[in-house]
Amino acid sequence: MIRMQALRPVPHTRVTLTDAFWAPRIEVNRTATLPHVRQQLEATGRLAALDLAWRIGMPNKPHHFWDSDIAKWLEAASLSLAAHPDPALEADLDMIIERYANLQHPSGYLNSYFLGIDPSRRWANLRDAHELYCVGHLIEAAVAHHAATGKRTFLEVMCRAADHVCAEFGWGRDQRRGYPGHEEIELALVKLAAATGERRYFEQARYFIDARGQQPHYYEIEARLRGDDPRAYWAKTYEYVQAHVPLREQTTVVGHAVRAMYLYAGATDVAAATGDTGLLAVLEGLWKQLVDTRLFVTGGIGTSGDNEGFTRDYDLPDEDAYAETCAAIGLVFWAQRMLATTGQGQYADMLERALYNGVLSGVGLDGTRFFYENPLASGGQHAREAWYSCACCPPNIARLLAGLPGLFLGSSDDSVWMHLYAQGRASVPVAAGVLSLSTQSCYPWDGAVGVTVEAAPGAPLALRLRIPGWCVRWRVRVNGAPLESAVLENGYLVLRRVWRAGDRIDLQLGMPVRFTYPHPRIRALAGRVAVERGPLVYCLEGVDQRERDLELLALDTSAGPAAFKPHHDHHLLGGVTLLRGPARRLGAAGGLYRSRPLSGDVTDATLIPYAVWANRARTEMRVWGRST
Ligand code: FUB
Ligand code: ZN
């Protein structure tokens, strides 16, 4: 049964994290990642491309989706600016925005590659050319810039670009039935509609969702217009771009994983805003199929590098996993919207899993080294890099971290929702006024969360505290008194009363170590076990083990997960809780095939959170350990 529930995210400017886990990451993002990405945009010629100065023979030939890299940085910088004023950064943004304003064609068309390098092929290949994707990212950046500064410069540029898109593509007689090969603009147009109050942008998002995959197939029409044979499509199938059939007929998550996530996120926005329960049911079905058969335990998605995406059910290897950082970020965006639409904790559970594991692994602790692929095992061949020629991931994680506090809370008319936990403060607008809270917690290292009401509106209000799906035992006290009969609704503990300043809630989320076993159909993981605690997936890294060959290390699971003891090390990897437990060192001597099962000498193993692997020496890594 579907229930459309309008749950508004609380903006990141209303939430301040002061914890030891996220606050340092956000600060590193601001002080190291933002300047680093900015410098790469300059050094690689991306910013110079805005001035249309590239000529044959020069280095750094522009690329058709370079604007998206700049846009994600502009969005990240704007989100950061909103929380942390910085006049030099603001002036830098103004300068780049002015270059975009100068670049824009009088028609509103905006793409630095096609304006500078290939003007005759504008809008000629929506399937591959990413123009709508780039406009989408620039729209998101403009909305964030407007919210941060109140300036309309960028917003007006992007309204002109969006108006041009609205005029070109649609159901009208004079319009083309096109839609993006790389989805993104759908969710961006929904944001633009909210920022400007202009319904037509929302209708355009709805058009893009509905037109996708319809017959006659637009990508065949445009291929013929280009003089190409539509059957010669390099990706071979429109599943790659989720355009094999209309979205409402899709039941399986297919193709390029980032594109899929952005499409589903935009479609969720459209379904929620229109009360379209049919579309939401399709999205719920896709969600279920994803989490039941195509999700890595880290919240990463997309098995293969060939299509940067999905392959078959249960095809979830460890070392060969592609799991692009952007895909896990896309899952966070989709989960955020499914959560806001349905109010169901399962979506927050997945958001948390992706965020603390498959997303966060994408950036090193220093904020300047990144992973594009996030495998779940490595023989030591994987290392973080400062940049990529296809550089989608670094600025994407920068914008996610810059706006991260905006994922923590939600509000509906009579409720404040706590989705994620961290020490900090928030002021949450509700119908009756504003609820101000402070939170005391060492999450994710410890499951104790204290919430103090700093100011309350004086009307009855429900505080909804998420009980994570991984948490089996929990306790809650309100003003010191245990609550015996608390209501648990869709994964949220509902505490309803007239709150007063000084009220205190103590939530204790049991956070024991747990073993996780793979589905028997995941062939690559037969006989393996993963170790988790709270929201964190742990891994073995060679550098921490007495003997470093992880092939020969088996976790001894016979005494249960409680034998793996947490130990907080303040000095290691920025301060992490390690797990130490029993293991066996398997004998390598002997023949290739043996008459007795493997056995080994007693040893121990140390596990670190997966998110912080590859921050020391290049070394082996395993999420899925052998088990005895
Ligand atoms: O195609 C644009 C971006 O580059 C995608 O989102 C990533 O997967 C990478 O292909
Ligand atoms: Zn990426």
Q: Dump pLDDT digits (tens) for 101-124.
A: 999 999 999 999 999 999 999 999
Query: How much distance in Å is there from the Cα of 371 to the middle of ligand 2?
Result: 9
36 part of a folded domain: no
Residue 429 token pair: 């607008």
Q: What average pLDDT does range 531-535 have in this prediction? A: 98
Share of the chain above pLDDT 90, in %: 95
Which ligand is the nearest neighbour of the Cα of 129?
Answer: 1
Q: Among this protein's residues, is 547 annotated catalytic?
A: no
Considering the domain architecture, whether residues 488 and 522 belong to the same structural domain is answered as no
- Measured from the Cβ of residue 178, the count of other Cβ atoms closer than 10 Å reads 21
Does 499 share its domain with 388?
no
Q: Do the strands 433-441 and 576-586 form a parallel or antiparallel pair, or are they unpaired?
A: unpaired
What is the per-residue pLDDT for 380?
95
Query: How far is ligand 1, taken at its centre, from the CA of residue 392, in Å?
Result: 6
Q: What CATH code is carried by the domain that includes residue 476?
A: 2.60.40.1180
Does 32 fall in a domain?
Answer: no
- Residue appearing with tokens 């390690």: 578
| pLDDT for residue 1 | 35
**Whether residues 391 and 527 fall in one domain:** no
Whether 28 is covered by a domain: the verdict is: no
- The ligand placed nearest to the CA atom of residue 309 is 1
pLDDT (0 to 100) of residue 63: 96
- Closest-CA residue, ligand 1 atom 1, reads 182
pLDDT > 90? residue 482: yes
Q: Are strands 433-441 and 424-430 parallel, antiparallel or unpaired?
A: antiparallel
Same domain, 296 and 440: no
Does some domain include residue 13? no
Same domain assignment for residues 287 and 385:
yes
Gap from CA of 258 to ligand 1 centroid (Å)? 7
Residues framing ligand 1 (Cβ under 6 A):
65, 182, 258, 308, 324, 326, 390, 392
> Does residue 548 contact residue 592 with C-beta atoms inside 8 Å?
no
Write down which residue in 403, 424, 444 finishes a domain. 403
Residue 257 has pLDDT above 80, yes or no: yes
CA distances from 357 to 177, 239, 417, 465, 611 (A): 39, 28, 23, 22, 5
Residue 454 burial (C-beta neighbours within 10 Å; 0-12, 13-18, 19+): middle
Structural domain that includes position 484:
410-509
Q: Which pLDDT score is estimated for 598?
A: 83
Please tell me the predicted confidence (pLDDT) of residue 4.
61
Span 258-282, average pLDDT: 97
Domains contained in the chain, number: 4
- Report yes or no: 501 and 454 within 8 Å, Cβ to Cβ: yes
CA-proximal residue: ligand 1, atom 7 (nearest): 392
Q: Are residues 526 and 489 in the same domain?
A: no
Strand order in the sheet with 460-466: 8-9, 409-412, 415-418, 460-466, 492-498, 487-489
607 inside domain: yes
Say if 16 falls within a structural domain. Answer: no
- pLDDT above 80 (res 153): yes
Mean pLDDT (the chain) is 96
| Short-list 290, 75, 265, CA closest to 183 | 265
> Quick one: average pLDDT of 203-212?
98
Task: Pick the closest to residue 237 from 245, 249, 248 (CA basis).
Answer: 245
Query: Which among 355, 377, 403 is the end of a domain?
Result: 403
Ligand 1, atom 8, residue with closest C-alpha: 258
Q: Looking at the structure, tell me whether residues 496 and 542 fall in a common domain.
A: no
Q: Which of these three, 490, 509, 528, is where a domain ends?
A: 509
Mean pLDDT of 308-335: 98
52 with 108, same domain: the answer is yes
Residue 94 lies in a domain: yes
- Asked if 121 and 267 sit in the same domain, the reply is no
Atom number, ligand 1, closest to the C-alpha of residue 324: 8
> What CA–CA distance (Å, rounded) separates 615 from 39?
22
33 part of a folded domain: no
214 and 93: one domain? yes
pLDDT exceeds cutoff 50 at 3: no
Separation of CA 378 from chain center: 23
Same domain membership, residue 537 and residue 484 = no
Residue 543 shares a structural domain with residue 457: no
pLDDT tens profile 369-378: 999 999 999 9
Confidence at residue 597, expressed as pLDDT on a 0 to 100 scale: 83
Concerning whether 166 is annotated as a catalytic residue, the answer is: no
Neighbours of 421 (CB within 10 A): 25
Is the pLDDT at 2 greater than 50? The verdict is no
Extract the tokens encoding 505: 């809630």
> Closest ligand to 306 CA?
1
Structure-token pair, residue 551:
């092939």
Average pLDDT over residues 411-429: 97
Calpha distance 351→333 (Å, rounded):
8
Tokens read off for 293: 């058969």
The Cα–Cα gap between 409 and 417 comes to: 5
**DSSP, res 405:** G
Cα(308) to ligand 2 centroid in Å equals: 10
Query: What is the arithmetic mean of pLDDT over 388-400?
Result: 98
- Ligand 1: atom nearest CA of 262 is 6
Residues whose CB is less than 8 angstroms from the CB of residue 531 and which lie 6 or more positions away in sequence, other chains included: 513, 514, 515, 516, 537, 538, 555, 561, 564, 579, 581, 607, 625
Name the percent of the chain lying above pLDDT 70.
Answer: 99
